[in-house]
Structure formats: structure tokens, C-alpha cells
Amino acid sequence: MEGITGIIAEYNPFHKGHGYQIEKVRKLTGDRYVLVIMSGDFVQRGAPAVFDKYARTRMALLGGADAVLELPSCRSCGSAEYFAKGAVEILDALGCVEHLCFGSESGDAAACQTLGRILAREPEEFQESLKKILKVGLSFPAARKKALTVYLENHSSENSQTDILEMLRLLDSPNNLLGIEYCKALSLLNSQITPVTIKREGAGYHEKEISWSMPSATALRRALIDTERTEASISRLLFHAQPDSVAAFTVKLLSSQSPVTEDDFSLLLKYRLLLLTVEELAAFADVSLDLARRIRRELNHFASFSQFISLLKTREMTYTRISRALLHILLSITQEDMAESPGYVRLLGFRRESSPLLRRLQDSSRIPIVTKAADYRKQIPKDQWKGFEKDLFCADLYESVKAEKSQKAFVSDLQRSPVIL
């Protein structure tokens, strides 16, 4: 039977590095199909995607993916842990995925698995060390790295000093951190899926300048929202940064709509913040009581979504953590919502030639696959309606802002069908 590799992605937006990963993993695993679990309209760094999920699905299919499924909104804009766990739970529940491929700076899947297993077990020694370090005032990522350093050094007999240094280096890159979280989730689920990693080529994850044949998504987003760039300049950039078929689609897309940014949601966010008390704010995911108080205290200085994040940022709380917290307030995502394991998955698009893959998914999946949004109440159990309706709300909010910005008619997510190439 022809194999299936899963990729967890945001494609915000799709670029040559993503195309390289899809092409390379087919050679590495020998699998026939590449299935993508992709964020919807809001992404893990706590912001709207630059293009909507249907446009990004088309980019993925043009770039070589066989099918794209949506990661539910409560997980797509969660921390790396929740994002990874939600996506891996879906891949595992599909029941037919052999491999999970992720990019990394190291290209070392075994080291990611070792760290993932430690984080899955959370040995008491590690937990105690983490608690002590957090009390010093470090951010959670920095504290966890330090606690892992202590744990690995105390167990150096299990790993050589070189191995320990290599593993600690993995903790310095966002891509590596996600890979470790994927391995942690696989370990917690006792999943039969085998992780494989492809060494990242080209620009770094947060590289802001377009200077490589495979630039970062960060650099590409930054260039797309640069109002001083001409249409001709943007077109040249896209054909430099994206596969030709994807670039041609993106150029056409930009002729009818503008990229979406967090600041397009500024007024909506301010309305929500004005409406809620400290106690009500603290009910949302990633919003501590201390952060809720600071939000209320600084609200008179609110100028925009991004400006307010910078205003609230502290040594203990990173820009991205605050961005996610504010997005959770905007989208009404609570910690309880975040803790719910995905009990369904939605098909966003597929290639016609890959129809046999869809039949295999339908036959083997332990969770329902929604193929027509308007029929979701017939396709998923009643206890999953709330989660799906949250996805619809998030998509419709995004579409409202996008339609207003581009002066286009609003199209409800219930009316949308999967993209077919």
C-alpha cells in the first residue's frame, strides 16, 4: 500500500523552502502521498495569517501537497505545545499516516526524540528545577532550556558531552522547538508514526531580509506588507521566493486583495478589551491575572494591536506570548477550549489525482472528516459542534476584516467548499 507522510504547517505564506520539504520527504521516505495539517486563518505566533486558509491551501496544493486538512482554531493559535499536540493527535487519529516530517536547523530527528521523551515524562528532578528557575523571573522557554540543561548534565552518563551540547543547541531555534514538541506528542500518544526531519536550507526562521533562494516566511510577510514596494517589485520578489506556480497565483491574488495583519483587527480588539473586566480577561487562554491587570491599566494607551503587545511585553512575558493572549481574548478562546482534544478534522483541499488518499482517510480515520461545512451537524457528533462553530466564527471574523479591507463581498465559511486542483 502506498505510504503517507504528514506535514504540520502554516504556509504563512508558502515559499520555496516548503516546496523543497515536500519534494525531499518523498525521496526520503518513499511515500506516495504528502498530507498537510494546516492552521486556519489565525496562526501560532498569535496573529492572523497573511492570506486566508483557502488561498494558502491552494498554494500548498500547487506546491506539491496531495491534501490539506485544517487544524482547529483553538490549537492553531496556541503555544508550541498545544499547536503540536493538536496536530499530532489528528495525524495519529487518521490511522494511516506512516511518517511525520518537520524541518529543523539540525536535521537530527533522534536528538529531537530524546528531548521529546524527557519532556513527555517530565521527571520529578526536571520539574523541580523548572519551578525554581521560573521563580527567578525568566520566560518559560528560557527557563525550560535551563532546566533541561541541568537535567542532561546530571545524566551525562546516558549521553556524551557532545550529544548534550547538540541537544541544547536544538533549543535555540523555533523550528527545532516545534520538532521537539511533535516528538513529545508522539511519545505521549505512544503513536506508531515515525518522525523524520529535513535540514532547513536558506534563511533562518526569523530572518527579516530576502537574501536567499529559500527565504523565511517572516521575511516574505514583511516584504508583502511593505507599502513602499511597487507591484512589479512584489512580483519579482514572489517569483524569487516561491515556486513559479505558487508565485503566479499569489500575484493574481494580490491584484484583488491586500495581505491581512494583526493591526487590521485593532479596533475589534480594543472593543473586546473595553468590554471585559480583569476577572473576565483572566478566563481566556494564556491570560494570567497579572497580565489582565496590566491590560486594563494600560488600555488608555492602546494605539494598535502590535503597539499594545510591545507596550505589555516584559522580561518574563515574550512578545509572542502576549500576542497569543490578546488573540485568545479577541477570539474568545478559553483554557478549557484549548485543552479539548480535536474530535474532528476538516478537509480544506486536495488534488484530483490524489482522490485515493481521501478514500483511505475516510476508511481508516477514528475521527470524522468534514468535507462540507454546511453539513457539519450531520458529519460530526453533537459534543463537537461547539468546537466546529468556533472555527466558523474565527473564519468569518477574518473574512469580515479581509472583505472590508479589500472592498469585496463577505463570504461565510459555511458557504465555502474544499479547494480542488
pLDDT in tens, 186-214: 999 999 999 999 987 755 544 545 545 56
Q: Which candidate, 52, 47, 116, places its Cα nearest to that of 77?
A: 47
Q: Which candidate, 341, 420, 356, 348, places its Cα nearest to that of 4?
A: 356
Which residue numbers in the chain have pLDDT < 50?
A: 205-206, 208, 211
200 labelled as ligand-binding?
A: yes
Residue matched to cell numbers 520555496: 16
9 labelled as ligand-binding?
A: yes
199 labelled as ligand-binding?
A: no
398 labelled as ligand-binding?
A: no
10 labelled as ligand-binding?
A: yes
103 labelled as ligand-binding?
A: yes
Cα–Cα distance, 294 to 299 (Å, whole number): 8
21 labelled as ligand-binding?
A: yes
pLDDT for position 160: 65
pLDDT for position 299: 98
Cα–Cα distance, 307 to 309 (Å, whole number): 5
pLDDT for position 174: 72
Q: How many helices (H) and strands (E) does the chain have?
A: 21, 10
pTM of the predicted model as reported, rounded to 2 decimal places: 0.94
pLDDT for position 104: 85
13 labelled as ligand-binding?
A: yes
Cis peptide before 243 (omega within 30 of 0): no
407 labelled as ligand-binding?
A: no
205 labelled as ligand-binding?
A: no
pLDDT digits (tens, 9 = 90+) for 364-399: 999 999 999 999 999 999 999 999 999 999 999 999
Whether 145 and 129 have beta carbons less than 8 Å apart is answered as no
99 labelled as ligand-binding?
A: no
Cell numbers describing residue 345: 478534522
Whether 396 and 413 have beta carbons less than 8 Å apart is answered as yes
pLDDT for position 118: 92
pLDDT for position 162: 63
Whether 23 and 43 have beta carbons less than 8 Å apart is answered as no
Provide the H-helix boundaries in 66-173: 73-76, 80-93, 109-121, 124-135, 140-154, 161-170
6 labelled as ligand-binding?
A: no
pLDDT digits (tens, 9 = 90+) for 37-84: 999 999 999 999 999 999 999 999 999 999 999 999 999 999 999 999
pLDDT for position 238: 94
Q: Which candidate, 265, 273, 337, 276, places its Cα nearest to that of 300?
A: 273
pLDDT for position 315: 85
% of the chain at pLDDT higher than 70? 95
8 labelled as ligand-binding?
A: yes
Count Cβ atoms below 10 Å from residue 329 Cβ, excluding itself: 23
pLDDT for position 213: 55
Domain formed by 4-105+198-259+342-420, architecture = 3-Layer(aba) Sandwich (3.40)
DSSP assignments along 270-299, one per residue: HHHHHH--HHHHTTBTT--HHHHHHHHHHG
18 labelled as ligand-binding?
A: yes
89 labelled as ligand-binding?
A: no
